[in-house]
Chains A and B, each alone.
Chain A
Amino acid sequence: MAIKLAIQNLSKLYPTGEGVQNIDFHVEEGELVTLLGPSGCGKTTVLRSVGGFIDPTGGAIKVSDQDVHHLPPEKRPSAMVFQSYNLWPHMTVFDNLAFSLKLKKVKKIEIQQRVEEVLTLVHLQGMEKKYPSELSGGQQQRIALARALLLEPEVLLLDEPFSALDAKLRHELREELRDIQSKRNLTMLFVTHDQEEALSISDKIVVMNNGHIEQIAPPQDIYNTPASLFVAQFIGRMNFIKGQAVNNTIQIGDITLTMDDLYTGEVTLGVRPEDIHVADKSSVRIEARVDKMMMLGHFAEITLHTLIGSLKMFVDRQQLEQFELNSTISIKLVNFIVFKENGEVLSNRRMNVNEMV
Chain B
Amino acid sequence: MWYFRTVGKRKIIEFIFLCIFMVFFFGPLLNLLLLAFAGEWQYPDILPKVWSLDWWSFVLQDESLVRSMWLSFFIAAIVTLISLIICIPAAYAFARIQFPLRRLFLFSFLLTNAFPKMGLYVAIAVLFYQMNLMNTFTGIILIHIINTLMFMTWIPSAAFENVHKSQEEAARDAGASPMRVFWHITLPMAKPGIIVASVFTFLSSLNEAEGTFLVGVPNYQTMPVIMYSIIADYPSTAGAVFSVILTLPTLILLLAARRFVGADVFANGFKMK
CB-CB contacts below 8 Å: A71-95 with B: 72-75, 78-80, 82, 84, 86-90
Q: Is A99 in the interface zone, CB < 8 Å from B? A: yes
A53: chain B residues within 8 A (beta carbon):
169, 172
Q: Please tell me which one of the listed residues A72, A84, A90, A151 contacts residue B174 in the complex, with CB atoms under 8 A apart.
A: A151
From residue A187, how far is it (CB to closest CB) to chain B in Å? Answer: 16
B174 close to A147 (CB less than 8 A): yes
A103: chain B residues within 8 A (beta carbon):
174-176, 180
From residue A147, how far is it (CB to closest CB) to chain B in Å? Answer: 7
A73 close to B172 (CB less than 8 A): yes
B170: chain A residues within 8 A (beta carbon):
80, 82, 86-88, 144, 147
A88 close to B166 (CB less than 8 A): no
A99 close to B171 (CB less than 8 A): yes
A51 close to B173 (CB less than 8 A): yes
A100 close to B175 (CB less than 8 A): yes
Q: With A and B bound together, what is the CA distance between A74 and B185 in angstroms? A: 14
Q: Is A129 in the interface zone, CB < 8 Å from B? A: no
Residues 187-209 of B, flagged 1 when their CB comes within 8 A of A and 0 if not, give 01101000000000000000000
CB-CB contacts below 8 Å: A120-176 with B: 144, 147-148, 151
Q: Is B184 in the interface zone, CB < 8 Å from A? A: yes
A86 close to B169 (CB less than 8 A): yes
A79: chain B residues within 8 A (beta carbon):
173-174
A74 close to B173 (CB less than 8 A): yes
Q: Is B167 in the interface zone, CB < 8 Å from A? A: yes
Q: With A and B bound together, what is the CA distance between A90 and B260 in angstroms? A: 12
B174: chain A residues within 8 A (beta carbon):
74, 79, 99-100, 103, 147, 151
B164 close to A90 (CB less than 8 A): no
Q: With A and B bound together, what is the CA distance between A66 and B164 in angstroms? A: 31
Q: Please tell me which one of the listed residues B171, B172, B173, B191 contacts residue A88 in the complex, with CB atoms under 8 A apart.
A: B171
B189 close to A86 (CB less than 8 A): no
Q: Please tell me which one of the listed residues B164, B176, B184, B189 contacts residue A74 in the complex, with CB atoms under 8 A apart.
A: B176
Residues 44-56 of A, flagged 1 when their CB comes within 8 A of B and 0 if not, give 0000000111000
Q: With A and B bound together, what is the CA distance between A51 and B166 in angstroms? A: 12
A70: chain B residues within 8 A (beta carbon):
none
B169: chain A residues within 8 A (beta carbon):
51, 53, 73, 80, 82, 86
B184: chain A residues within 8 A (beta carbon):
99
B188 close to A90 (CB less than 8 A): yes
Q: A88-B185, A89-B189 are in contact. Are A151 and B175 (CB under 8 A)?
A: yes
B175 close to A74 (CB less than 8 A): yes
A82 close to B176 (CB less than 8 A): no
A84 close to B172 (CB less than 8 A): no
Q: Is A183 in the interface zone, CB < 8 Å from B? A: no
Count A-B pairs with CB separation below 8 Å.
63
Q: With A and B bound together, what is the CA distance between A78 and B169 in angstroms? A: 13
Q: With A and B bound together, what is the CA distance between A80 and B166 in angstroms? A: 11
Q: B169, B170, B171: which has the most chain A beta carbons within 10 Å? A: B170
From residue A3, how far is it (CB to closest CB) to chain B in Å? Answer: 22
Q: Is B177 in the interface zone, CB < 8 Å from A? A: yes
Q: With A and B bound together, what is the CA distance between A88 and B183 in angstroms? A: 13
B180: chain A residues within 8 A (beta carbon):
103
Q: Is A104 in the interface zone, CB < 8 Å from B? A: yes
Q: Please tell me which one of the listed residues A52, A72, A78, A84 contacts residue B164 in the complex, with CB atoms under 8 A apart.
A: A84
A100: chain B residues within 8 A (beta carbon):
174-176
B172: chain A residues within 8 A (beta carbon):
52-53, 72-74
Residue of A nearest to B167 (CB): A86
A73 close to B173 (CB less than 8 A): yes
Q: With A and B bound together, what is the CA distance between A75 and B172 in angstroms? A: 9
Q: B169, B171, B174: which has the most chain A beta carbons within 10 Å? A: B174
B167 close to A88 (CB less than 8 A): yes
Q: Please tell me which one of the listed residues A51, A84, A104 contacts residue B175 in the complex, with CB atoms under 8 A apart.
A: A104
B188: chain A residues within 8 A (beta carbon):
90
CB-CB contacts below 8 Å: B138-197 with A: 164, 166-167, 169-177, 180, 184-185, 188-189, 191
B175 close to A82 (CB less than 8 A): no
From residue A144, how far is it (CB to closest CB) to chain B in Å? Answer: 8
Q: With A and B bound together, what is the CA distance between A135 and B233 in angstroms? A: 62
From residue A27, how far is it (CB to closest CB) to chain B in Å? Answer: 18
B175 close to A86 (CB less than 8 A): no
Top 4 nearest A-B pairs (CB, nearest first) are A100-B174, A86-B170, A73-B172, A86-B167
**Known contacts A73-B173, A79-B173, A80-B173; 10 further A-B pairs (Cβ under 8 A):** A51-B173, A52-B173, A53-B169, A73-B172, A74-B175, A86-B167, A88-B189, A89-B189, A103-B180, A148-B173
List, sorted by A's number, 6 A–B pairs whose CB atoms are closer than 8 Å: A53-B172, A79-B173, A79-B174, A80-B173, A88-B167, A147-B170
